[in-house]
Amino acid sequence: MADLTYREAVAEGIAREMRRDPSVVCLGEDIGAAGGVFKTTQGLFEEFGPARVWDTPISEQAIVGAAMGAAMTGMRPVAEIMFSDFLAVCWDFIANEMPKVRYMTGGQVTVPMVVRTANGGGLGFGAQHSQAVENWAFTIPGLVIAAPSTPADVIGLMASAIRSDDPVMFFEHKTLFASKGERPPEGHMVPFGQANVVRAGDDITLVGLAWSMPIVIEAAEQLAAQGISAEVIDLRTLVPLDASTVLGSVARTSRILIVEENPLQGGWGGTLASIVADEGFYDLDAPVKRLAAANVPLPFATHLEDQVLPSVATTVTTAAAMVNS
């Protein structure tokens, strides 16, 4: 029975780790008594108090800078950046500092911190509050990148993120906050770099991440009604990237369609497509295809935003054409 929302899973995942490890702390804007602007930290302040749940000024640089310093000196901070678009404000820490310390000190100093953020479009928040920016972080060596699509994966990946000795970018999708799923048992963990085969199939592989998972799952249902068997894969993490599961699927289906929210230009799907083209070329019966957002700022108007982002209809049409060609 579905008994946990995605947004509740965020707070529960953090709380489980805070109970387990006293070095885990949280910091961000309005995450304390207010419970977070998206209500993803509700209950943490009441349970753990102001010594471990820190409300900060409206300064992304201060939030990430303080978290980095805390991580380097023995704590395991979980820092919230309210909207992923605002990662640009503290990009020097994310691109130049956090991912390089362990390497530049020869492993003498680790940065065990999580930067979690509300990511992506689909809710009409406009161009400065709707971007999917996993592809920004994807270009930076040294960052782990997680983007869960279900409440159970939120909890499982959060456990792996907080326990990691490397900095983790944790992308929570705004359109998924109200979605529901079963509450996983205590101790539930999802290892990084382990994709989830959500649905088995024989005719085509559909790959998604976070926002696009409901789209590809629904598309697979509609394709089944047309007699097309689609295998659905949820990557769950981009770094590490589970290319082996994708390649194994392509070896069976001979076709792959990648559906992502990032703009087509520079999206993570381009990297996955190149891996499949390099290592799975002789398994393919059709060219690798990608569906991604248009290379434009996200419109505010819902009907225009819908035109920019991939949809169930475009996924079904593209996949059917690949199979029937």
All domains of the chain, ordered by start, with CATH? 4-181 (3.40.50.970), 196-324 (3.40.50.920)
- Would you say how long the chain is, in residues? 325
Average pLDDT over every residue of 230-234? 98
Instruction: State pTM to two decimals.
Output: 0.97
User: Residue 92 pLDDT more than 70?
Assistant: yes
Average pLDDT over every residue of 290-319? 96
User: Residue 139 pLDDT more than 70?
Assistant: yes
User: Residue 313 pLDDT more than 90?
Assistant: yes
Query: Could you tell me the sign of the dihedral formed by the alpha carbons of 214, 216, 220, 223, in that order?
Result: positive
The CA distance from 249 to 163, in Å, is 30
Res. 2 pLDDT band, cuts 50 70 90: low
Average pLDDT over every residue of 290-316? 96
The CA distance from 292 to 280, in Å, is 22
Average pLDDT over every residue of 235-247? 98
> Over the stretch 18-55, which tens digit does the pLDDT of each residue have?
999 999 999 999 999 999 999 999 999 999 999 999 99
Positions marked active-site: 129
Average pLDDT over every residue of 69-84? 98
Question: What pLDDT, on the 0 to 100 scale, is given for residue 11?
Answer: 98
CB 279 within 8 A of CB 247: yes
Res. 86 pLDDT band, cuts 50 70 90: very high
> Over the stretch 166-199, which tens digit does the pLDDT of each residue have?
999 999 999 999 999 999 999 999 999 999 999 9
User: Residue 1 pLDDT more than 70?
Assistant: no
Res. 234 pLDDT band, cuts 50 70 90: very high
Res. 227 pLDDT band, cuts 50 70 90: very high
When the pLDDT of each residue in the chain is averaged and rounded to a whole number, the result is 97
The CA distance from 158 to 189, in Å, is 8
The CA distance from 197 to 318, in Å, is 21
Res. 325 pLDDT band, cuts 50 70 90: confident
User: Residue 115 pLDDT more than 60?
Assistant: yes
Residues 6+ apart with CB under 8 A from 270: 264, 290
